[in-house]
Structure 1
């Protein structure tokens, strides 16, 4: 039996079969949580925002554009939720573009290289960090990232390349 596409499932949800959302939840909740966690460094906030993402999927199910990929829509919702949270909390004047946070490192299985990488990533500008998290950790394709970020594929490739160069430079510096 052929697996249903995310877009087909979302169409069923939009038509009123909200039970189908369980499939999308199973496919995406961990990825969305990890994205939000890597951006915010806050486990509880990431859990809350992940729940909010799926609440919004139900609430705005009729606004989903079936010509677009589902993955771009869900990450756009996740980004917007995080941005809205920081705007509401007034933790930073620039919201998502410049908020500072303390990255909580992974549990016991961490090693020095991973820890160093995460510390370097944490020191980068939020826009560069977001590009690298979406592309390298979440494995979102350039075309999908372009749609999420409201940009072109070429511009996103260039920005990711520049962010990787910055990451490499910072990573190789002695702390």
Structure 2
């Protein structure tokens, strides 16, 4: 059995402070609150950045830069947004900048698979990565299929199906309209369904 674990964002222990309480304390000079935020977000952010970039060393560099930005720019955070969406926006922007620097030529494109982005959401009746948890497909194969997606589709599918963000939160993180988020998630799922079904057929 294999599973694709969803990361827990905005973690709050029953007796512990929320992310928003911690960042407020840090803004007031509480360095320990910063340490708690780093501890809370280090693993899920590393997971997100690594899957997005596909390179552990680059992911570690981006992770460190994300926390450095948090430290230097703590007063830019406003309570109108969830802390998790704010820090994932920072990490995502840094990761996309890294991708642009690489100027990769081997990024998989699905423009021929579906040529337009429409402002609607498809019913989720297909196969998402989690739905393969009890199948013959391995977690490694699922991750390889995700890695083949082009960056803009990979980012939203990781945020939605792996990190567990809502469509509204993803819209804030990626800074695109809600309808476009839903469209990209649907297109990414369709591409994953297509690729994973081929793998499933081969292993039967």
Fold conserved (TM > 0.5)? yes
**CA–CA distance in structure 2, aligned partners of residues 8 and 78 of structure 1:** 21
Other structure's SS at 2:93 match? helix
Other-structure match for 1:18: 31
Computed over aligned residues only, the root mean square deviation of the Cα atoms, in angstroms, reads 2.3
Query: Contact 1:134 / 1:140 at 8 angstroms: preserved in 2?
Result: yes
Alignment: residue pair count: 160
102, 105, 125: which is aligned to 1:91?
102
Instruction: Describe the shift of the 1:18–1:130 C-alpha distance in structure 2 as closer, same or farther (beyond 3 A).
Output: same
Query: What is the CA deviation profile of residues 147-171 of structure 1, one whole-angstrom value per residue up to 9, with x for unaligned ones?
Result: 1011333432232122111210122
Which structure has the larger Rg over C-alpha atoms? 2
| Runs of 5+ consecutive residues of structure 1 not aligned to the other structure | 102-110
Query: Contact 1:99 / 1:126 at 8 angstroms: preserved in 2?
Result: no
RCO higher in structure (CA 8 A, sep ≥6) = 2
Query: What is the CA deviation profile of residues 84-115 of structure 1, one whole-angstrom value per residue up to 9, with x for unaligned ones?
Result: 3334xx3217xxxx8749xxxxxxxxx85222
Correspondence 1:122 to 2:147: yes
Other-structure match for 2:114: none
Other-structure match for 1:104: none
Q: Which moved more, 1:13-22 or 1:149-158?
A: 149-158
**CA–CA distance in structure 2, aligned partners of residues 53 and 32 of structure 1:** 9
Query: What is the CA deviation profile of residues 16-46 of structure 1, one whole-angstrom value per residue up to 9, with x for unaligned ones?
Result: 2122111111211100000111011111211
Report the TM-score when normalising by structure 2.
0.70
Report the TM-score when normalising by structure 1.
0.81
Dislocated runs of 4+, deviation >6 Å: none
Report matched runs for 1:1-175 at 5 Å: 2-87=15-100, 90-92=101-103, 100=107, 113-173=138-198
Other structure's SS at 1:45 match? helix
| Runs of 5+ consecutive residues of structure 2 not aligned to the other structure | 1-13, 109-135
Query: Contact 2:46 / 2:60 at 8 angstroms: preserved in 1?
Result: yes
**CA–CA distance in structure 2, aligned partners of residues 123 and 77 of structure 1:** 23
**CA–CA distance in structure 1, aligned partners of residues 102 and 181 of structure 2:** 27
Q: Is the helix fraction higher in 1 or 2?
A: 1
Q: Which moved more, 1:150-159 or 1:3-12?
A: 150-159
